[in-house]
Structure 1
């Protein structure tokens, strides 16, 4: 099964001067057809105005990831620039850090993944952007069996990122033993017969795919989630 989630069909919510585009049901946005994709429960693109403060939230039994797409986000007195990834393992209960937005505003991707076990101890870590990450190749950002460069996840799930140069081809090999979600963050690309624009998502379950992601004329930035079946 393959599903396509176009960017312009996502739900839209506002919290004061913050705006969220929700791939799945989240907060005030509910769509019974889009409750998540396996263990992937939240995928929100959030736009934060300059100087905004995002208050702490009490969360339990969820793996939370915040990927900074543009701007600067201050977390625990640390400045997270574009490409930084923050992980909160909200076990039996955890308070998310208070966040303050930099002077130019910020755009972030909020991700929530169900853990494989509940009531684990709370944990947190940050992975700063790697300016030396290769182009036209996958980089592991987080995973259940993460390499030293990746953040830990308490689920057999993996998050990879690729930055593609104009016209580049990147192999995509999928097997039926996992679910997958591909999110296009920037640019345009073709994959498995679909033309994707920024904000579009495509997912597979019980599929065997041997294809390539082909970047458009301005290149592309993509995330790939590998999830339990």
Structure 2
């Protein structure tokens, strides 16, 4: 098993006043030749948006875009007829395909909100734009890696145009859990949302990341209660 460790404080840093963002990979004004993504995982942004602000209308194409609110709610509106709130505990995906225009605003004028914005390079270009949003509560089981995204519309969670699987787990202190890759040729990027875990002697604290490849599985120890996002993606497109 091979790994690469990304400490939380090694990420790119952007502060626009209304938006504070940390970039695990190169994005916007942050450019690091050693951090251009992890296989098909191109962007992992940790965004904090103050009340009443957000991202105005802008366009994307040929990218799978996933949003996971961590606190508060995100107001979404796009040009293919979708409008509403994405609440904490939900996951949203857009297949930008031939082109989609949307806005993402803090859904509360008085309170700040935080969310993860993730981009995955698709395996099909110029698809019809699509939108999907689901609550994750019915999927979540304690002390387990719960699948919330896959390539298959019939599987648990949302789906995207890529052979990728995302799982989220909330783990108690002292738990040990194993993750089995769906495709052994894939890699896995582990992002610790909160708490502390240990994988292959790498101690990961809140907002640390670990890329893992050349293995069919990995085992995670949890010395402090933790919430963990696992993103399994193709390494070579």
TM-score range normalised by the length of the shorter chain: over 0.9
Residue 153 of structure 1 pairs with residue 154 of structure 2 = no
Range with bigger deviation, 139-148 or 11-20: 139-148
Who is 1:188 aligned against? 196
Who is 1:40 aligned against? 41
Counterparts of 2:55 and 2:217 in 1: how far apart (Å)?
A: 41
**1:105 to partner: Cα distance:** 1.0
Conserved? CA contact 2:85–2:107, under 8 Å: no
Which of these residues, 168, 177, 180, is aligned with residue 170 of structure 1? 177
**1:209 to partner: Cα distance:** 5.5
1:81-92 mapped onto 2 (5 Å cutoff): 81-92=87-98
Counterparts of 1:134 and 1:24 in 2: how far apart (Å)?
A: 30
How many residue pairs get aligned? The number is 227
Who is 1:111 aligned against? 118
Counterparts of 2:37 and 2:131 in 1: how far apart (Å)?
A: 23
Query: TM-score by structure 1 length?
Result: 0.92
**1:8 to partner: Cα distance:** 0.5
Query: TM-score by structure 2 length?
Result: 0.89
Who is 2:107 aligned against? 101
Counterparts of 2:188 and 2:153 in 1: how far apart (Å)?
A: 17
Counterparts of 2:96 and 2:152 in 1: how far apart (Å)?
A: 18
Range with bigger deviation, 82-91 or 145-154: 145-154
Say if 1:194 and 1:98 are closer, same or farther in 2 by CA, change over 3 A. closer
5+ residue gaps in structure 1? none
